[in-house]
A and B are shown apart, each in its own frame.
Chain A
Amino acid sequence: MTRACFAALASHWRHNPLQLFAFLAGLALATGLWSGVQAINAEARASYDAAAATLGEGQFDQIVPRAGDRIAQQDFVSLRRAGWLVSPIIEGRLDGVRVLGFDPLSSPSGASVGEIAEAGDLDSFLSPGRLYATAETAQALGDGVTVLVEDTVAPGVAVGDIGAVQQLLGRTDLSRLLVQPDQPLRRPALADVAPHLRLQSASQSADVGELTESFHLNLTAFGLLSFAVGLFIVYSTIGLAFEQRRGMVRTLRALGVPLPRLIKLMVVEVVALALVGAGIGVVLGYVIAALLLPDVAGSLRGLYGAEMAGTLQFRVSWWGSGMAIAVLGALAAAGGRLWQIARMPLLASARPRAWAMTLGNAQVAQGVGALGLLLCAGALAVWGSGLVAGFALLGCFLIGAALALPLLVRPVLTLAESTAKSPVARWFWADTRQQLPGLSLALMALLLAISANIGVATMVSSFRLTFVAFLDQRLAPELYVEAETAAQAAQIEAAAPRLGATALPLLVRDTHVAGQPTRLFGVRVGPTYRENWQFLAATPSAWDQVAAGAAAVANEQLARRAGLWVGDRVEVAPDRMLPLAAIVADYGNPLGQLVIGETLFQSLYPEVSARQFGLRTDDPTAVRRAMTDEMGIADSAITDQVALKAFSMGVFDRTFTVTAALNVLTLAVAGFAMLMCLLTLADLRVPQLAPVWALGLTRRRIGQLEVIRALVFAAVVCLFALPVGLGLAWVLLAIINVEAFGWRLPMYLFPADYAGLGAYAILAAGIAAAWPAIRLMRVPPNALLKVFAHEH
């Protein structure tokens, strides 16, 4: 009996190949989008980890030469013999590959490529002439070098024993030294052992942590959104298939198939089909990720100077989650339908309900559900805290908005109908309204896709604008110099005018403000600050007050953590209270900062002298050369901020490329959902359209009206998607980002972008409607006539 039942179930798909295609393709697309985003995410994280593990930079203090990029090996020996626990690093390029040599015995734990040693043979690691790299990097290195393939090494980097790398690079010196975190009790000053070297503390290295985290958050949010869109597609395709088989279920039961067995068989069927669809989807996701990966790799190359492999690894984390979601989503979607079938009286009408009638009670339930979810989102926005609450809010808000959509679209259509004059127009609106239940899932998916696009576009573009402003603010001086000694600092300040530069000394002292660890800055207020600093909130003459020593400026992190805002008073020194004149946005920095005037700082902390200087100049190259050549300042102590700014912008622009590509994909998936719904409905529509045809409307005209209907739906959905998308952006910027990083991104609006997105969405709907409309136009007249014949 089981085989017969399966044959009956399968016959449905045989007779409706399009539906089978919709089912599998819907699942495949949803899974593909999800697993594609996950794959990119997983690959990005794995690359960060590998890069961090391989390089160990930023994590440890380093000793670098004051000038040049080489350290004599004898310096390493002298430092060790003096009690400095340092580990040698040599770095160079071989056939375009970054080659890194280290000493596994002295390297601080966490810096070494421990996993290489774990996987490989240590005797062989210490053997001369051997390197470890990924297969791709190994190929680039050519035949002259023995390279052992090791996937845990960062892409584009080959690592090896210090001796092996020295030999390969033909060098006998070193590039830099890593400083162990734990140092012995009695350690001489660095200047006493190696005055030509300088200590670069870990915190001074470019901190990209916050930026990469933002990048992750961006992708994670996108993964979530694409999942929501995908789930709607799965739900709608499965719902459709089950509705259409009600008649067959009745027949099978009438023939004596027990209900439990039938339900079991249908579950098996759903799971089997879900696995097939998801399997295709995983492959699709792989392709999506592989296509987008060059851009992601570009972003990472910018962030780390290290490459991400152009090939993907098949990680369980993303394909597993894609499969699981497809199966669970399919089962969840089927669950409701199976429940209905289980409760269906044996001889009940097999008429497919959902596709012909309004839903009555279901509509009320949907309304209650939407309201509940939106209220829940509101409550989370007001009272929730933590990143999980932020994402829960996002979920509640999106699904609530999607559920509310049909209920909101209906009054719009009723209104349009009431204003229509001609009979055809009245029929058009009435018929459109009648299509609403059948199309509602596709419309919800479209709503989610459009609003996700609006939301993410707003977030990313706001991020970009804010970040440009922030870079201008923080990297305004063309050069940044760090002095070794007070004498050198004085020399820099004195020499600046002669070199045609303006020196902006920065006084720094770590302290506690309002119980928060805070870095207190004393600045020389001038045009650089007045023109480039953007305040989140400020009194009218904030900089004047700061210059006069009558007020302070706090960064957003400090203000939020200590619950301070403009006008509140803070203690900048014992018994010295100042009001806050402004709050400044400070991205990419986890610490609290407080800025006061240079004069006040000097009177409060006379023992602190300025060691850091911003230099404003028209010719950074010449000033830099003068500083290194004439004044003996270490080249590594000078930062070219113009280059830094350009580099940072490059990183973000690559992020946008990835986001834009994902936008197009989401929209395409939503368009596909609409196409599938319309195609399925087209067959059911014949009996409904036959009377209109009989009344004199040509098939061509009917087809045109079908396309117009799709465009109307898309336009209405776009209208609703705008507030939803903006709400989504607000949640991402004002709630999730604050929870994740402690700073809020200002939200900017981009109406032209939204108009463009709307046009794309309507275009997608039009394309989706075209094929079903053409099919309708080609329905042979006798098929339409048969409708009347069957009625009698």
Chain B
Amino acid sequence: MSIRLLLFLLLWPLSVFAQGFAGLGTDAQKFAVPQADPQFDFPADHGPHPEYRIEWWYLTANLTSADGTQYGLQWTLFRTAIAPGEDAGWSSPQVWFAHAAVTTPQAHFATERFARGGVGVAGVQAEPFRAWIDEWAMEGADFDTLTLTAQGPDFAYDMALQAQGPLVFHGQHGFSVKSVEGQASYYYSQPFYKIAGTLILPDGSVEVTGNAWLDREWSSQPLSDNQSGWDWFSLSFDDGAKLMGFQLRQRDGSLYSASTWIGADGRTTAYPDGAFAAQPVAQSDVGGRDVPTTWQVQLPDRGVDVRVEALNTQAWMPLSIPYWEGPVIVEGSHTGVGYLEMTGYE
């Protein structure tokens, strides 16, 4: 077992984490705990919150090349703290790690990075906005205009992003509850980025354009002990509306769900547990694991009843913490594209 994996198992006893989810640890210890009715302060809140245990800058994008081929892209920077607060040099209790991936209809490329805080190898600053680990970076004069780069041993990408709409806040004005016991996180998104750039793949470079969705979330509170994993969806419909929905799978078979409907104008409606439903329709063998890669997703209040199918069923992230994450195609009452993340299937 690698020291890194152990570190993460130590920090996440349930070995689960994700976009749209804020569970970790067995208790909040001395870390700050999210409170209801938050007052965000931008651009400062785009930066790190070291007094909370975990935080992420999580970007996914659905891309299309000139010949119509679809692609998916992921860039995620995680911050996790061994203790609250910040300290200079190697004494910093902040640990950073990042995942990058590109999915094509035939292939999936994924890689990860790790770094200690305090020495300058990784970090985030709010203004001008800059999030980086090694040579990977998401940066720009402000949060609306960003460049994005990452690379692994066999792929790389350089992208430019331009926000086309406002930030959106999940749950109660950005206070997102994750279980019936009341565990919660601060959670907002920028789902309106236009994105364009170059994917460098083993077969050559591809110019692509598309839409990107950036999630910001931080918390300190534990998962419920009885939660084993989750299925998280971010769907962008062709009519401009968007849907974020997730369900937490409990060990007793029951589910806890939450969702946000985002109008084309950026106006949001948050739905409580039970409004959003996702049913696995078909499973795929992914490296010997059975992973549901086709889903029936419903939000009856908005007349949503769609079939969500993976662009590439083999979008497994074989990293220190393995999970499935990849682009999806939406058909049914609404059509569009999106991203699906599933944990707890390893």
* Chain A interface residues toward B at CB < 8 A: 73, 76-77, 80-83, 85, 103-107, 109, 112, 114, 117-118, 122-123, 126, 128, 161-164, 166, 172, 182-186
B260 shortest CB reach to chain A, Å: 34
User: In the complex, what residue of chain B is closest to A102 when comparing beta carbons?
Assistant: B3
Q: What CA separation (Å) do A105 and B132 show in the bound complex?
A: 16
User: In the complex, what residue of chain A is closest to B97 when comparing beta carbons?
Assistant: A105
Are B156 and A81 neighbours in the complex by a CB distance under 8 Å? Answer: no
Known contacts: A73-B119, A128-B91, A163-B89. The answer to whether A83 contacts B134 by CB under 8 A is yes
Partner of A162, one of B90, B132, B151: B90
B203 adjacent to chain A (CB < 8 Å): no
B181 adjacent to chain A (CB < 8 Å): no
Contact pattern, B 98-142, Cβ under 8 Å of A = 1, otherwise 0? 000000000000010011100111000000000010110000000
B1 adjacent to chain A (CB < 8 Å): yes
Inter-chain contacts of B324 with A (CB < 8 A): none
Are A123 and B114 neighbours in the complex by a CB distance under 8 Å? Answer: no
User: In the complex, what residue of chain A is closest to B156 when comparing beta carbons?
Assistant: A185
Are A185 and B119 neighbours in the complex by a CB distance under 8 Å? Answer: no
* Chain B interface residues toward A at CB < 8 A: 1-4, 6-7, 10, 82, 89-91, 93, 95, 97, 111, 114-116, 119-121, 132, 134-135, 151-156, 200
Inter-chain contacts of B1 with A (CB < 8 A): 114, 118
Partner of A114, one of B2, B90, B111: B2
User: In the complex, what residue of chain B is closest to A183 when comparing beta carbons?
Assistant: B153
Q: What CA separation (Å) do A182 and B109 show in the bound complex?
A: 14
Partner of B3, one of A77, A82, A85, A104: A104
User: In the complex, what residue of chain B is closest to A127 when comparing beta carbons?
Assistant: B82
Q: What CA separation (Å) do A123 and B4 show in the bound complex?
A: 12
Are B7 and A104 neighbours in the complex by a CB distance under 8 Å? Answer: yes
Known contacts: A77-B121, A128-B91. The answer to whether A186 contacts B6 by CB under 8 A is no
Are B3 and A83 neighbours in the complex by a CB distance under 8 Å? Answer: no
What would 14 more interface pairs be, CB under 8 Å, given A77-B121, A81-B134?
A: A81-B135, A104-B4, A105-B95, A106-B114, A106-B116, A114-B3, A117-B3, A117-B6, A122-B7, A126-B82, A183-B153, A184-B153, A185-B154, A185-B200
Count chain A CB atoms within 10 A of each CB in B1, B6, B90, B152 and give the residue with the most: B90
Are A166 and B90 neighbours in the complex by a CB distance under 8 Å? Answer: yes
Partner of B153, one of A117, A122, A166, A182: A182
Q: What CA separation (Å) do A83 and B114 show in the bound complex?
A: 13
A59 shortest CB reach to chain B, Å: 15
Are A163 and B134 neighbours in the complex by a CB distance under 8 Å? Answer: no
Are A77 and B6 neighbours in the complex by a CB distance under 8 Å? Answer: no
B145 shortest CB reach to chain A, Å: 22
User: In the complex, what residue of chain A is closest to B121 when comparing beta carbons?
Assistant: A80
A180 shortest CB reach to chain B, Å: 10
A171 shortest CB reach to chain B, Å: 12
User: In the complex, what residue of chain A is closest to B93 when comparing beta carbons?
Assistant: A126
Inter-chain contacts of A105 with B (CB < 8 A): 3-4, 7, 95, 97, 114-116
User: In the complex, what residue of chain B is closest to A110 when comparing beta carbons?
Assistant: B2
Q: What CA separation (Å) do A170 and B114 show in the bound complex?
A: 26
Inter-chain contacts of A77 with B (CB < 8 A): 119-121
Q: Which 9 A-B pairs have the closest CB atoms?
A: A163-B90, A117-B3, A83-B135, A105-B114, A104-B3, A184-B151, A77-B120, A182-B153, A80-B121
A159 shortest CB reach to chain B, Å: 12
B220 shortest CB reach to chain A, Å: 16
Count chain B CB atoms within 10 A of each CB in A83, A105, A118 and give the residue with the most: A105
Are A109 and B2 neighbours in the complex by a CB distance under 8 Å? Answer: yes
B156 shortest CB reach to chain A, Å: 5
Inter-chain contacts of A76 with B (CB < 8 A): 119, 121
Q: What CA separation (Å) do A105 and B134 show in the bound complex?
A: 13
Known contacts: A81-B134, A83-B151, A105-B115. The answer to whether A122 contacts B91 by CB under 8 A is no
Inter-chain contacts of B95 with A (CB < 8 A): 105
Inter-chain contacts of A73 with B (CB < 8 A): 119
Q: What CA separation (Å) do A105 and B133 show in the bound complex?
A: 13
User: In the complex, what residue of chain A is closest to B96 when comparing beta carbons?
Assistant: A105
- A-B contacts, 22 of them at CB < 8 A, read A73-B119, A76-B119, A77-B120, A80-B134, A81-B134, A82-B135, A83-B134, A83-B135, A105-B3, A105-B97, A106-B116, A114-B3, A117-B6, A122-B6, A123-B82, A128-B91, A163-B89, A184-B135, A184-B151, A184-B156, A185-B152, A185-B200
Inter-chain contacts of B135 with A (CB < 8 A): 80-83, 184
User: In the complex, what residue of chain B is closest to A182 when comparing beta carbons?
Assistant: B153
Partner of B152, one of A81, A123, A162, A184: A184
Partner of A185, one of B6, B121, B132, B155: B155
Inter-chain contacts of B4 with A (CB < 8 A): 104-105
Number of interchain pairs (Cβ within 8 Å): 86
Inter-chain contacts of A183 with B (CB < 8 A): 153
User: In the complex, what residue of chain A is closest to B134 when comparing beta carbons?
Assistant: A80
A220 shortest CB reach to chain B, Å: 31
A96 shortest CB reach to chain B, Å: 25
B174 shortest CB reach to chain A, Å: 31
Q: What CA separation (Å) do A107 and B3 show in the bound complex?
A: 10
Partner of A85, one of B119, B134, B155: B134
Inter-chain contacts of A82 with B (CB < 8 A): 135
Inter-chain contacts of B200 with A (CB < 8 A): 185-186
User: In the complex, what residue of chain A is closest to B200 when comparing beta carbons?
Assistant: A185
Inter-chain contacts of B90 with A (CB < 8 A): 103, 161-164, 166
User: In the complex, what residue of chain A is closest to B137 when comparing beta carbons?
Assistant: A81
Inter-chain contacts of A126 with B (CB < 8 A): 82, 93
Partner of B10, one of A122, A161, A172, A182: A122
Q: What CA separation (Å) do A85 and B3 show in the bound complex?
A: 17
Inter-chain contacts of A166 with B (CB < 8 A): 89-90
Count chain A CB atoms within 10 A of each CB in B93, B119, B155 and give the residue with the most: B119
Inter-chain contacts of B119 with A (CB < 8 A): 73, 76-77
Q: What CA separation (Å) do A630 and B153 show in the bound complex?
A: 40
Inter-chain contacts of B97 with A (CB < 8 A): 105
User: In the complex, what residue of chain B is closest to A112 when comparing beta carbons?
Assistant: B3
B292 shortest CB reach to chain A, Å: 31
B96 shortest CB reach to chain A, Å: 9
Q: What CA separation (Å) do A104 and B10 show in the bound complex?
A: 14
Are B151 and A103 neighbours in the complex by a CB distance under 8 Å? Answer: no
Are B116 and A103 neighbours in the complex by a CB distance under 8 Å? Answer: yes
Inter-chain contacts of A80 with B (CB < 8 A): 115, 121, 134-135
Inter-chain contacts of B154 with A (CB < 8 A): 185
A260 shortest CB reach to chain B, Å: 53
Q: What CA separation (Å) do A77 and B97 show in the bound complex?
A: 16
Inter-chain contacts of B116 with A (CB < 8 A): 103, 105-106
Q: What CA separation (Å) do A589 and B156 show in the bound complex?
A: 39
Count chain A CB atoms within 10 A of each CB in B1, B97, B132 and give the residue with the most: B1
B328 shortest CB reach to chain A, Å: 27
Count chain A CB atoms within 10 A of each CB in B134, B153, B155, B156 and give the residue with the most: B134
Q: What CA separation (Å) do A183 and B152 show in the bound complex?
A: 7
User: In the complex, what residue of chain A is closest to B118 when comparing beta carbons?
Assistant: A163
A449 shortest CB reach to chain B, Å: 47
B238 shortest CB reach to chain A, Å: 34
Q: What CA separation (Å) do A77 and B89 show in the bound complex?
A: 12
A1 shortest CB reach to chain B, Å: 58
Q: What CA separation (Å) do A470 and B315 show in the bound complex?
A: 55
Q: What CA separation (Å) do A117 and B8 show in the bound complex?
A: 12
Q: What CA separation (Å) do A455 and B277 show in the bound complex?
A: 79
User: In the complex, what residue of chain B is closest to A123 when comparing beta carbons?
Assistant: B82
A706 shortest CB reach to chain B, Å: 66
Inter-chain contacts of B114 with A (CB < 8 A): 105-106
B154 shortest CB reach to chain A, Å: 7
